[in-house]
Amino acid sequence: MRKSTTYNRASIAAGEYNADGTLIDGEDGLTADPVKTSETFYVGRVGEEIADYTYNYTGDGTRVRTVSVFYYGAGRNRAADADTLDAMVASEGYRTDDITKINRDIADGIADNLLSETFYVGEKEEEISDYSYNYKLGDASIVKNTSIFFYGAGANRAADADTLDAMLKSESSGVP
């Protein structure tokens, strides 16, 4: 698989499914004008694909609003350089319409477009969001706020939570 596409709920054509939820032969399961919400692009061999980045679309599905980029393993590698057993350790969100336009370099004289950075803990396929930073658009050296996530009845941080614990709350604080 090289790409997966997600559509909004209104794009599902209920009449194209069997009673057991499987598609009727020859149907794609979508309305005539489906609204795309995201496209995720993968790298790796068949059966070992790793998500590299995602295009997130505007509400009407006509244009890319942001790009999310994923990082894996202790070396914080992009998917092409990650081991297939590496857990996702971070993701970044950028205000741009193309992966080739992401920029978080604050010293290059070009306005950066980094919006957020989220850090995860846990084994592969059991990663849990631990905390995130939201940046001032155009200057990724300025953190606007930090969010910390808590899980389960005990309000545990991600490292102490069970992978089945639901997120209980998040706490955000502005950074002066």
Q: Is the pTM of this model over 0.85?
A: yes
What is the predicted pLDDT for the residue at 57? 97
What is the predicted pLDDT for the residue at 12? 82
Task: Count structural domains, the chain.
Answer: 1
Residue 64 belongs to domain spanning: 3-174
What is the predicted pLDDT for the residue at 25? 79
* Confidence band for 1, pLDDT divided at 50, 70 and 90: low
What is the predicted pLDDT for the residue at 30? 83
b/e sequence 141-163, b meaning 16+ C-beta within 10 Å = eeeeeebebbbeeeebebeebee
pLDDT tens sequence across 33-83 = 889 999 999 999 998 999 999 999 999 999 999 999 999 999 999 999 999
User: Strand (E) positions, 8-155?
Assistant: 36-43, 50-57, 64-72, 88-94, 114-121, 128-136, 139-151
pLDDT tens sequence across 84-140 = 999 999 999 999 999 999 999 888 888 899 999 999 999 999 999 999 999 999 989
